[in-house]
Amino acid sequence: MAIAARPGLRERKKLRTQRTIIATATALFAKQGYGATTVAEIADAAEVSPNTVFKYFPTKADLVFHVTDVVTENLRKRIENRRSGESTAAAVVAWVVEDLPELEMPYAELLRGMNRLVASDPELSAQSRLRLARVEDVLADGFATDLGERPESMRVRVLAVIATRGMTDVWSAWHAKHVADEPFDLGTMFAIKAEYVESALSAGLAAIETLPRP
């Protein structure tokens, strides 16, 4: 396996700035609420200009869902670039174990408060549903290729929903149990998620054989 190139200085600086802004915004959202927090306040607390915040996060909601968008794009690339003969189901399970921890663990505190934050604001609730639909679409494209069917077909969508909801259901159950933990360590959650999604997709692949083909 090829070793991934270490990001350059400019990319590392960009990543540090993004994480600083997100961490600052997360703390302010928790303290005074999403709606009551302005981008100007976030910029001031993060010691950057408002233009810098908008450079990385065009809307305030993007501060909340940046990690979700990064995860979704990474999943898309993992599925599109899967090895010859590797199924989408196998690629997703491997991705949860191999790639997802590195993407999500730096944002543990944001993820700790994510459920409550999203539920507190109608805009965030709507954006959360939109992001979840994007994940489902990414998965559907992979399953469509595997099955030789359209991404909109019933059998494809069943598998995409199983994978999407499997990941979110494990997260919700684990989060409810561990949200008050100090530190908020996501480490154990990824193996549980991978095992659950693998079992759910195995059952789903068997179940879709009973469904009519288009």
pLDDT for 8 equals 81
pLDDT for 6 equals 65
Position 4 pLDDT exceeds 70: no
pLDDT digits (tens, 9 = 90+) for 43-52: 999 999 999 9
Q: Where are the domains of the chain?
A: 10-58, 60-210
Distances (CA, A) of 210 to 154, 166, 203, 205, 207: 12, 21, 12, 10, 6
Report the SS3 class of residue 4.
Answer: coil
Position 136 pLDDT exceeds 50: yes
Position 1 pLDDT exceeds 70: no
Mean pLDDT of the chain: 95
Position 2 pLDDT exceeds 90: no
Position 25 pLDDT exceeds 60: yes
> What's the mean pLDDT in 152-163?
97
Structure token pair of residue 109: 């505190």
Single pTM value for the model: 0.92
Structure token pair of residue 164: 């999407």
Name the architecture of domain 60-210.
Orthogonal Bundle (1.10)
> What's the mean pLDDT in 91-104?
97
- Going by CATH, does the domain composed of 10-58 fall within 1.10.10.60? yes
